[in-house]
Amino acid sequence: MFNASVLVRKKTNVKLMASDFKSLISKYSLKGFVIGLPFDRHLVSSDAVQMKVFIDNLRRTNMLEDVEYTFWNECFTSKNVELLLKPLNLKHPVHSKTMLDKFAAVGILQGYLDYVNRKAKAITPE
């Protein structure tokens, strides 16, 4: 069973992070990563730029050559999760941020999986 969570970056060295990712890929037989990016039709957000630079740096390590990276629009994911969590009245900001990140990650991945399923059904004749 795959029991991963939001990955909190504790390292700043890209090669060490790539090594950690390589271990996860091997352990769970992963094919790629789904990366949430805040796409905006009019502006490029600094978060999106930072994430793309980070992924480019990971690629340059040549440690993750066979890994696919899928960028997924997360524009409204965090806002939707905030609205869902508001009734829980999470008092501690760290708990609130952790819950927000986890639910947002689930929402991003679920959106991607739903898209892949719809696409597969459209291609597969009945």
**pLDDT tens-place string over residues 70-93:** 999 887 787 788 787 778 777 776
Task: Tell me the pLDDT tens digit for each residue of 61-75.
Answer: 999 988 999 999 887
φ/ψ of 73, rounded to 5, equals -65, 120
Q: For 94-123, what is each residue's pLDDT tens digit?
A: 667 777 888 888 889 999 999 999 999 988
Q: For tokens 């990140």, what's the residue?
A: 101
* Mean pLDDT score across all residues of the chain: 83
Span 10-75: which CATH code? 3.30.420.140
pTM (2 decimals)? 0.75
Structure tokens at 38: 């805040």
**Residues 65, 68, 71, CA angle at the centre, nearest 5°?**
135
pLDDT of residue 57 exceeding 70: yes
Written as six digits, the tokens of 34 are: 């789904």
| Strands annotated E in the chain | 32-37, 68-73
35-50 tens-digit pLDDT = 988 777 666 778 888 8
Tokens of 118: 């719809």
